[in-house]
Amino acid sequence: MEITVGKTSGFCNGVRYTVEEANKALDENKMIYCLGEIVHNERVIEDLEKKGMKTISSIEEAEDHSKMIIRAHGERKEVYDRAKQKNIQLLDLTCGKIKAIRVKIKNKMNDYFIIIIGKKEHPETLGVQSFAGKDSFILENVEDIKDCKKFYQESKKEKIYIVSQTTFNGDKFDQLVEEIKKEFPGEIVVDKTICDATKNRQEETRELSKNVDVMIIVGGKKSSNTKELEVISKEHCKNVYLIQDVEDLKDIQISKDAKIGIMAGASTPEIVVKEIVNYLD
């Protein structure tokens, strides 16, 4: 059995920073709220919850005058405003790359209609849109262009500025931009804000999946960047498995002669990949 683990597999810098800072903060505080899952990985969440982190789904669940983590995806503007009202001290771990997109948008939003290409229900895109004001739209599929046009016309803006969710599929972004260009007149500025960590991981996944018999993608079921790795792998490899940890692998039959590629999403700790490799060995 030949096993190749992708070099770009596992925690990205943004997630690593988030987990390190949360750990540091929990060394000094008995209890800190975290709004939403800190990363899409059950083991990481469990470890931090044992140290005193409490995951909540709404800021209303946090007590006034408490401390709360904003995870790497960032949050909607309303959450920051509400935290002020409730005197909640924020540990804002929004990734710098996502903060940079907010700044770019701020510089353009007076003159441009903003299109964010990404998943409609994803916390990152919803957060970014909340800083873009009402003249903005999250576009996920070509079918959304019709609705987007309606909002664009109502905005009375003549120019369009396009950004991307940091973990979006690069090829799909390019295709959607082409479709938008066909439908919208006037100036369109395209800023492909897909993060390098995502881009490199997607490229390596593509190459690896072309050269193996079985591709194993490791990551949380809710992880957007992990799902994209599965989609890319399926374009080139017939046997693709998306698993969360070594337990999921135990039901899968793999030939001893198979060439196996392993790639983990941005929220998967190194230990999970090591356990998978040991099991396969």
Which residues bind to ligand SF4, rule: CB under 6 A?
12-15, 72, 95, 97-98, 166-167, 195, 197-198, 266
Contact by Cβ (8 Å): 187, 203: no
Instruction: Give the shortest CB-138-to-ligand SF4 separation in angstroms.
Output: 17
> Going by C-beta distance under 8 Å and a sequence separation of 6 or more, which residues neighbour residue 201?
6, 8, 9, 12, 225, 229, 263, 265, 266
- Give the pair of three-digit tokens for residue 157: 């803006």
Tell me how far apart the alpha carbons of residues 211 and 106 are, in angstroms, rounded to a whole number.
43
Helix spans in 109-190 (H) = 123-132, 145-155, 170-183
Contact by Cβ (8 Å): 209, 237: yes
Tell me how far apart the alpha carbons of residues 128 and 222 are, in angstroms, rounded to a whole number.
19
- Give the pair of three-digit tokens for residue 92: 């804002």
Q: Tell me the C-alpha to C-alpha distance, in Å, between residue 163 and each of 32, 57, 177.
A: 33, 27, 10
The nearer residue to ligand SF4, 15 or 242, going by C-beta atoms, is 15
Instruction: Indicate the residue type of 232.
Output: I
**Which residue of the chain is nearest ligand SF4 when measured via CB?**
14
Buried b vs exposed e over 70-89: b needs ≥16 C-beta within 10 Å? Answer: bbbbbbbbebbebbeeeebe
Contact by Cβ (8 Å): 104, 193: yes
Q: Which residues are catalytic?
A: 124
